[in-house]
Structure formats: structure tokens, C-alpha cells
Structure 1
Amino acid sequence: MICPRCAASLTAKQRNGRMCAQCGKRFALDPAVHGKGMHDIRIRGIAERATDHGRLKITLTQLWYLSRSRNYAWAGRDPQGVPARIRWLVALPVAAALVACAVLTGGVLAVLAGAAACACVVVASSMRHRPGQSPHAQIIPAEQTFRDLMNGSWSAVYGGLPEGVVDDARPVPRPRGANRSGASVPVSPPKAAILCTDRVVALFLTANGIPARLEAVLVEVADADGTKGRPTVLAAALSAIAQYRSGLPVVVLHDADPQGALLAPLIRGAQPDRVVVDAGLPVSAARNRLGVVRLVRHDRLADAEQLRTVAGLPEADAEWLGEGFWSPLAAVTPRVLESIVVRAVERALAAPRPTHHEALTHGFLTWPQAPRSPRTSRAPGTRPPGTGTYKKKGTSSA
């Protein structure tokens, strides 16, 4: 291990108690003790890149997503076949009865009974059983473990969290112009509304004053426990934006999950005269791109049929969400997330008022660089940047 203080190469004996034997200074994390990737130099480098070298403030949850060493996600499955205990509980008594019948009788009946007993045993032994599996997802290190390390060992050694990182479990410092609820509001009437369903993303936007910079109002309708589902969030979203004029465009930020995929189309259906830009994490990107955080829920908020018909998702994306998989928007790199919001608000302001026969919906990884007229043609064989998908699929990422 490299000492984060003096850059000396240390063996296990030379760093007992997280104390460097060369320079005599303490460090916070030891990969041999705290797990793979838990190293001061690595965590500090991740924090510097995530904050754009101090320009941005990020939350501890965002740093945890970026610092993960492993991410696994498995879908649930139903049990198949008959358990061995039940098979033999039935097969053995039946076989024993057939053998007894063969012994007590003779002739053809004895042969048939013996053959039936053998067949019963063979069938019972050849049957297979696959136990059921509940949905499971894991990020290594676990969130609470990472929080304890950063607020404990790291803060004890360095006097606080890395520069630019704020603990979202505590009140996040508000920039000037923020109201008591924490939402940054412009001095003049807002030109757009940013509807955010992720608390961590809302805190990130607030801490950096992004809504105020864009002359937009931040409307947070986060479902903290993730169990209330689409109807509650949709009702809260419609109620929140109803207080603003109908001409105010809305940018929707959401996770790649059933609730998020359905939110923008349902808002657009409820208020067809309002510009609604879907700036959430696209399901196709969460499903296909390497390095994306993938999680799974035990409760499925929508089935694949709803996602195909209402949200207009492709079959593969709808099935992926229908199995319980999802991906958090907060795991997106902070600099990318900032650019997403800026471009989405600019697009919403430049878009014309929709008619009853058209709707505006673009995932942030499929946006063109500038709004185009529907009549604009594209050269054959080309496509917008970011619309390609990886051929390699999977539900695990490092």
C-alpha cells in the first residue's frame, strides 16, 4: 500500500494501526482492513474529480456511489420443480408398497409391480428442483459502512469530509437566495420548473445554486422510502406544479425505474398544454451501459405492459424494469448531472408549446445538441450522439 502522506510503499507490518512506519503520520483507510478500493488516495482523487476540483459541492451519497468497488443485482425467481424431501416422501412409500405387492404375488403381476417400483425410484431421482430466489442487490461497501468510515476514521484524521463533500444526512448549506425549504428560487418569477423525484439530486442542485442560476424553481417530490409508488408521487407532482402558470415549462428529473419512466408521460397527459421535458435517467442507458449502478426492488411498482403502453418503452427495457431492476439518478457523475439539468432547462425554454398531437420527451443521454424542427432530416446511417447501446449485457458492474 502507498502511504497517502509520504508516498512510501508500506507492507502490512509497516502500517499497523493505520500509522505509517516511514513518516509516522496516520491515515484514514486501509484496503486490507476496510475492503478493496478503500484507500485515502483513491477516495481523495474521486472527490476532487467529482467536485470538479472544488467548483461543485457533492453529497456523501454521491461520493459513495462513485467510490463503490462492486455492484451486484439479481432478479427474483419462482421455485421450479418438486423439492427432494417431498419427492422421496411420496416415492419411497409407493415403491415399498409395490415391492411388497411383488413379493406377495407371483407371475405377471409381480413383474409389473417390480417394474413400477423401479420406475418410481428412477423418476424421483431424475427430477430436479431449483429453489426460488428473492430479488437482491448489493453495493460494496455498503452505504452505512461508507458513511461510518467517512464520518469516523476520515474525519478524525483529516478534520472533516473531503473538500466539497457535504453530509446529506445533515442540513445542506443553502446558497444565497434559497428559501427555508431548501429550494433555490430566483428573485424574479421563474422561467422553468425543475421537478425532482430524488432527494440526493435535489440537495445537490440546491447546494450548488443551479436552479437560481437557471432562473428556475426546484420542486422536490421525492418518495423517501420508495414504497409509496407512482400514484402518490404523480399526485404530489401535479399538485406542486399546479401552483405555477400553465405556460411554465417543466423539466422532470427521475431515476431509471417504473415510477420515473411513467411520470413524465402521465404529467404530459394530465397537462397537455405544458412543455414537459423528460430529463431522467434513460432505462436503456441503465440497462446496457457498463459501470452504471443497478439495484433491484422487492416490490414492483408497474408491470411490463404498463411500461410499454404508457411510457412507450421498448420490450427489453420494459421487461428489465418489470423484473424489479432500477438505477438511481444520484449515481450519475455530478458534472454530467449538472450539464443534464442546464441543457434540459435550455431545451424546455426553447421548445414551443405542445399541441394535443405531439409531446416532448428526451432522455438526457439521447438529447440532440439543439432543438430541431420535426421536418429536419438526418443523413442516412447516422443517429444522435449517445443513442448507441453496448452489446454486452449484465446486471453487475464494478
Structure 2
Amino acid sequence: MICPHCERNLLRKERTGNRCTHCNRAYALDPKTNPLRLSDLRVRRITAALTDGGRIGIVPDQLWYALSRKRLRDSEFGQGCLGGAFVPAGFVTVIAFFAEAPVLLIVSAALLLIGLGITVARAMGAGKGVPPVVREAFPALVLSPWRSVYGVLPPGVLDTAGSGGGVADPAGAAGTTGVLVCPDRAVVAFLVADGLPARHGLAVARSVAEAAVVPSKGPVLVLHDSDADGELFVRGLRDALPDRTVIDVGPPLRTVRTLPQAVPYRDPRRKPSPADMRILTALGTYTPEELKWLGQGWRFPLVGLPPARLLAVVDRVAGQVSRGVDPDRRRAADLGFLTWPEAAGPDPVGGR
């Protein structure tokens, strides 16, 4: 590991207690002990990319996803057990051959079966897409040690703890041009910190109920994850607000799945119910393969989109709404003309 202070290459014995023995300065994260295998230099490098060199602020959840991407791409299911099965199996087989002990051959066969089972499970994707650190645990496992060493969060990361998501009272948002609805508290805090809703005169809501009480009759912009919950959320808004223009600003699932840098994840705790899947099937907008993917709990989260690109797309759509959208263009919006670009630009964090 490289010391973030003196830039010396440290062996494990030279950095006990998260302190460099050369410069005697403490650091926050050690890749050997951190569940995301992070170092301070890696956090700084990826934070600089996400914030566009400090031009914009990001929320901790966006940093969580960027730092988890590499682990989400690869399955580590049974990685340690795999060698622990095949190596002893070979060793026991050799002993059984020379000692002429048939019982040991049975033990060897059992170990081989365990190893083969793990290999097959890994090939089928077991463990793939499951974050080693869940989103809720990221502040305690990564940001707290960082703050204890440096006194502040990484440069450009906004302190959203206790912010309540930055949602104002929707009922008091008279005179707005429309409503921006997003159920993700972190994304709302990100957009509010950038000043996007205020810049375009948009009231902000996080639920169908909050959106319904906003006195504005302008369009309702919906921003959501590309997953089963997101599709159902848009449907619920349109059912609850039949007299309003509801524009789906969320990135289309079919488009995002074709982007090579888009890395989905799955949360076993948040699989859609059979009733939800019946609703999605009845919509007729998903292929059988896509429905199976959604039913397994896979998703592309909004916090996984490059922050600068997320701001640019929402800013463009909100700008069209704030300038006033004529009836023909509103109809086009309902039909989906406000889509995300299919050809993505350079990925700011890549596979790091």
C-alpha cells in the first residue's frame, strides 16, 4: 500500500494500526482490512473523478456505488473455500494412494464435490452483484474512519447526515412550474445541493402523497432507479394524478443495460413480490428476459449514474418544463421522447 502522506510503498508490517512507520502519520483506510479493499489514495482519485475535479458536490451514496463497482462486477462467492477444497483433496488423494487407504479416497471425493459445487455456483453468478458493503453501512465503515483521521469528509463529498433529504414542504410550494419527484433521499439531496429545483422553480417531493398536495398544476417529473420499484412508482403516480402530465425522466432500463460501463447490483432484501411482477408483466413493456432480471432483484441505481451526467440530463428536462412546454411537446414527452442518450461518454471512474 502507498502511504497517502509520504507516498512510500508500505509492507503490512510497516503500517500497523493504520499508521505509516516512515512518516508516523495516520491514514484512514487499509485495503487489507477494509471490506471494499480501499486505500486513501483510491478514495481521493475516484472522488476527484466523480466531482469533475471539484466542480460539483456529490453525496456519500454516489461515492459508495463508485467504490463498490469493481467488487460488483466479479463474484467472490466461495473464493477462499475453493482453494480450501481442491488443495486438500489433491493432498488426501496422494496420501490415500501411497497408504492404500480407501477411506481417505472417500474424503478426497467429498472435498472434490464441494469444490465442484462452488465452481458451478460461481459460474452461475452466485454472489455476483451483491455489494460487500451495503449502502446503509458505508458511512460507518468508510466515512467515519476518514473523518476521524482528516476531520472532514473526502473533498467534494457533501455531509447529508440529518439533512432530511432536502425536501421542502410540498404544500407550501405555490407558484412553481412543476414538481420533481424522486423517492431516493440521497439523489434529492444531491439535486437540491446543486440548486437545480430552485433554479427551475420546481417543488420537490419523494412520494406520491407529497406530489399530490403540491398546488402547482405544472408537469410532474419522475426520477427513479431502473428497477421494478421504479417502474411501479411511475405507474402509481400516473394513477394518482390522472389530470397531470407525468414525465418519466428515469433512465430507460433497456438503454442502460446495453451500456458496457453500467454495473447493476442486487439486494436480496428488495426483490419484487409476485403481485408486483404480475403488474409488470401486464404492462407488456418488458421482454421475458428483462422480467426475469427484474424479478431477481437486479437494479441500476440513480446513484450509480455519473453525477455530472445525471445533473445535465435532469437540468435539460427541467429547463424545458420551466420555459413552458406546448401541448404537442407534452404529448411527445408522455410517449417517451425525453430519453437518455444511448451512446454514453467516457466513464469517469471506469473499472477502478
The alignment's TM-score, normalised by the length of structure 2, stands at 0.69
Unpaired runs of 5+ residues, structure 2, are 76-119, 345-350
| 2:324 maps to 1:332 | no
Amino acid of the residue matched to residue 342 of structure 2? G
Does the Cα contact within 8 Å between 1:303 and 1:322 map onto a contact in 2? no
| 2:289 maps to 1:295 | no
Amino acid of the residue matched to residue 141 of structure 1? V
The structure-2 alpha-carbon separation of the partners of 1:357 and 1:42, relative to structure 1 and needing over 3 Å to count, comes to closer
Aligned to 1:211: 197
Aligned to 1:149: 141
What CA deviation, in whole Å up to 9, does each residue of 1:268-295 have, x standing for no partner?
4665553322111322245443442321
Amino acid of the residue matched to residue 39 of structure 2? H
**Shift of residue 311, structure 1, vs aligned partner:** 6.6
The structure richer in helix per residue is 2
**Superposed counterparts of 1:1-398, under 5 Å:** 1-35=1-35, 37-68=37-68, 69-71=70-72, 138-143=130-135, 145-171=137-163, 179=168, 181=169, 189-221=175-207, 234=208, 236=209, 240-246=211-217, 248-265=218-235, 267-268=237-238, 271=241, 274-290=244-260, 291-296=262-267, 297-300=270-273, 302-304=275-277, 306-310=279-283, 312-349=285-322, 351-353=325-327, 360-362=334-336, 366-367=339-340, 385-386=341-342
Larger gyration radius, structure 1 or structure 2: 1
**Shift of residue 70, structure 1, vs aligned partner:** 1.0
Does the Cα contact within 8 Å between 2:224 and 2:302 map onto a contact in 1? yes
What CA deviation, in whole Å up to 9, does each residue of 1:328-359 have, x standing for no partner?
21222221221121122134455433699876
Does the Cα contact within 8 Å between 1:18 and 1:29 map onto a contact in 2? yes
**Shift of residue 31, structure 1, vs aligned partner:** 0.8
The structure-2 alpha-carbon separation of the partners of 1:362 and 1:43, relative to structure 1 and needing over 3 Å to count, comes to farther
The share of aligned pairs that are identical, in percent, is: 31
Distance 1:311 1:348 in 2: 29
What CA deviation, in whole Å up to 9, does each residue of 1:57-115 have, x standing for no partner?
322222111111412799xxxxxxxxxxxxxxxxxxxxxxxxxxxxxxxxxxxxxxxxx
SS in 1 for 2:7: coil
**Shift of residue 137, structure 1, vs aligned partner:** 5.5
Distance 2:320 2:220 in 1: 10
Distance 2:25 2:304 in 1: 33
Does the Cα contact within 8 Å between 1:54 and 1:163 map onto a contact in 2? yes
What CA deviation, in whole Å up to 9, does each residue of 1:119-158 have, x standing for no partner?
xxxxxxxxxxx99x99996212344553223343211211
The structure-2 alpha-carbon separation of the partners of 1:12 and 1:343, relative to structure 1 and needing over 3 Å to count, comes to same
**Shift of residue 204, structure 1, vs aligned partner:** 1.3
The structure-2 alpha-carbon separation of the partners of 1:158 and 1:387, relative to structure 1 and needing over 3 Å to count, comes to closer
Distance 2:315 2:264 in 1: 23
Unpaired runs of 5+ residues, structure 1, are 75-129, 222-233, 368-384, 389-396
Aligned to 2:93: none
**Shift of residue 35, structure 1, vs aligned partner:** 4.1
Distance 2:276 2:245 in 1: 27
**Shift of residue 252, structure 1, vs aligned partner:** 0.5
